[in-house]
Structure 1
Amino acid sequence: MAKYIKISCLGPQPYRIDQAVPYPEAVEMMAAHWQRELDRVLPDRPDLIVVPEACDRPYQHPIEKRNAFYRTRGNRIRDLFAENAKRHQCYITYPAHIEMPDGTWRNSVQLIGRDGEIVGFYHKNHLVPSEQSDGGMTYGQDVPLVETDFGRVAFAICFDLNFEELRLQVEKLQPDLIVFPSMYHGGLMQSYWAYSCRAFFAGAVASLPCTIVSPTGETVATTTNYYHFVTATVNLDSAIIHIDDNGSKFKEIKDRYGTEVKIHDPGLLGSVLLSSESDRFTVQDVIDEFGLVRLSEYFDNCRQHRCTLVHE
């Protein structure tokens, strides 16, 4: 059945606070900044708000001052986000540098649920080396999948997007949505991750375009040079279907279900995005009814066919 989710992405410039400002005051300035930013999209009643990497890092503070700020900050900004999540019944990401109980630091994103509680988190697996050598960060090791009331969520942060081994791990998780808080845009890598993982992609990038990308690698919505926030609705009850061996059934599907099924062809890709727009059946029901094959299964069949002939 149609599974609509409204996603908001925010990409303001990193917030500047004079280094002479006392840390308690600086923390409150940061809190006020982020309340203003959240207020830009909350009227749209989003299901999920995504904000950039290290969202509450004071801009251009040296490391010792930055860490002192963080220790004063504690959970103040996270709690602000949690209060908003609970009040507005939405999920909000909180990407931040956090100090662990053993004194090490992580570049992380915490996902806050509609009740204001933490429902999942991810530690950046692929740091820029200077984050470790100069910033004291420790590499994350796990690649979690978080179950939400709208679907399965996986994460990548900034530099992560460059690493095939991480993408392959995320691909195996079969997420419905990849959340990407970042300082780096990634360009074509956003579309590549979305297509290869068969997932929607929500990227919030500081000072650069924030984008919502479909599983066919197409940009659904983006911020502009005028506005650094964007909201769009996507349907997660979708599947990528290759035209080969499936395309002959598309007319029959449309004849039977009309507007209750959407078959979107992005062109040039050889695949379409099949979506259930109905409250009566899921996209998997349509796949089963018409004997369709999802893209990943189709490619696996092609590999098997090649191996069979090569070894004959």
Structure 2
Amino acid sequence: MDKNANPRRKFLKSAALTSGLSSMGILSVNSHPLPDSAVPKKLPREVWVAGISQEGVYADKAEDMLDRIFSLMDKVLVNQPDIICLPEVFHTANVTKKYTLAEKLAFSNTVLSKMADFAKLNNCYLVVAVNTEEKGKIFNSAVLLDREGARVGEYRKIHLTEDEINNGLTPGPLDAPVFQTDFGKVGIQICFDVMWEDGWQKLKDKQAEIVFWPSAYGGGQSLQAKALQHRYVLATSTRKGSAKLWDITGHELAKTGFWEKNYYCAPVNLEKAFLHTWPFVRHFDKIKEKYGRKIRITNFHEEEWSVIESLSPEVLISAILKEFNLKTYDQHRHDSEMAQIKARNT
């Protein structure tokens, strides 16, 4: 028999062994960021987004789970992410030991301190979903840390389950906040929030460009629909199932799966605009003639949607919109609605 037969089987065996050794902590992972010279130049509004899935990740204690999560985050660093999102209250999920709510809250503070160190060391934002407390009330929260490890802000889950309430958690304020980062405005929703529309619409109204969804499960099409409906980037991080990243059209950019079960990291370009194709399609040929490969226009023919995207640091989409008198989908809809109201009242 040929000793070199079935290379696929050998590869699978080697990959499985490597994954197993890494999960047991036998293989060391380089947690230091790559030098700037090793990273290609990014577009001005190119953002590298990472999400973590706890699928198949178990531990005896919360401290051990935190170590496992850091190991997964270390693997993402090869792409020098701008932001990493972590699953909903991950520190006590998939853990054998049972914790009281007070114990979960106490360990949350430890988690936030260590995550702040990680953010600063690796120059990235973090969405850290833990428990927080104020005036004796405990929340299911997501804390946004900046590149220096400082707290930018906190979102508190609006729509809790009955079990969460019965176990002592308090629902968060109905007004979902947005947070300013150095790459754009971001918002957060958590798990059960997906069954209501209010928080998602508030984030759209406040011009969020990326929304993060730490969760206990994957969400699938319901999350894809949110991305498309509100025309913002949507990034998830889950305790089970796939974690995913969708563009403003609902197009799937990245996800966890068989070969990369526990993390994804991919770029999104925020220098783009979503339009209703008609009547603005009449200008598309002239735009292409002037800007050539510096822009990309993607048409969704049946839906009559179009996306104009800059592929060059020299080209701003806002300048193109102004130059050719184009309106975004949201502006076009708003202006049409105002015209309707005026016509009815005339």
What is the TM-score with the length of structure 1 in the denominator? 0.90
Note the residue ranges of structure 1 that are not aligned, 5 or more in a row: 19-25
Look up the equivalent residue of 1:302 and give its one-letter code. Answer: S
Match of 2:254 among 206, 221, 237: 221
Give the match for residue 47 of structure 1.
82
| 1:121 aligned counterpart, secondary structure | strand
Give the match for residue 94 of structure 1.
128
1:57·1:66 contact (CA, 8 Å) conserved in 2?
Answer: no
| 1:251 aligned counterpart, secondary structure | helix
Instruction: Indicate how the Cα distance of structure 1 residues 96 and 266 shifts in structure 2: closer, same or farther if over 3 A, else same.
Output: farther
Instruction: Indicate how the Cα distance of structure 1 residues 14 and 104 shifts in structure 2: closer, same or farther if over 3 A, else same.
Output: farther
Q: Percent of pairs identical after alignment?
A: 25
Residue 17 (structure 1) shift = 4.0
Match of 1:33 among 68, 71, 86: 68
Instruction: Indicate how the Cα distance of structure 1 residues 221 and 80 shifts in structure 2: closer, same or farther if over 3 A, else same.
Output: same
Provide runs of 4+ in structure 1 moved above 6 Å. 60-63
Which string of whole-angstrom CA distances, capped at 9 and with x for unpartnered residues, describes residues 253-299 of structure 1?
11100111111224432112211222223111110011001101111
The number of equivalent residue pairs is 302
Match of 2:201 among 168, 184, 191: 168
1:58·1:66 contact (CA, 8 Å) conserved in 2?
Answer: no
Look up the equivalent residue of 1:234 and give its one-letter code. Answer: V
Instruction: Indicate how the Cα distance of structure 1 residues 186 and 268 shifts in structure 2: closer, same or farther if over 3 A, else same.
Output: farther
Give the match for residue 139 of structure 1.
171
1:198·1:239 contact (CA, 8 Å) conserved in 2?
Answer: no
Instruction: Name the larger-Rg structure.
Output: 2
| 1:226 aligned counterpart, secondary structure | coil
- Tell me the distance in 2 between the aligned counterparts of 1:131 and 1:269: 40
Look up the equivalent residue of 2:145 and give its one-letter code. Answer: I
Look up the equivalent residue of 1:255 and give its one-letter code. Answer: E
Note the residue ranges of structure 2 that are not aligned, 5 or more in a row: 1-42
1:56·1:96 contact (CA, 8 Å) conserved in 2?
Answer: yes
2:65·2:95 contact (CA, 8 Å) conserved in 1?
Answer: no
Tell me if 1:280 matches 2:280: no
Larger relative contact order (CA 8 Å, sep ≥ 6) = 1
| 1:265 aligned counterpart, secondary structure | strand
- Tell me the distance in 1 between the aligned counterparts of 2:220 and 2:306: 22
What is the TM-score with the length of structure 2 in the denominator? 0.81
Match of 1:12 among 34, 54, 58: 54
Match of 2:94 among 59, 62, 66: 59
RMSD over aligned CA atoms reads: 2.1
Give the match for residue 9 of structure 2.
none
Residue 15 (structure 1) shift = 5.1
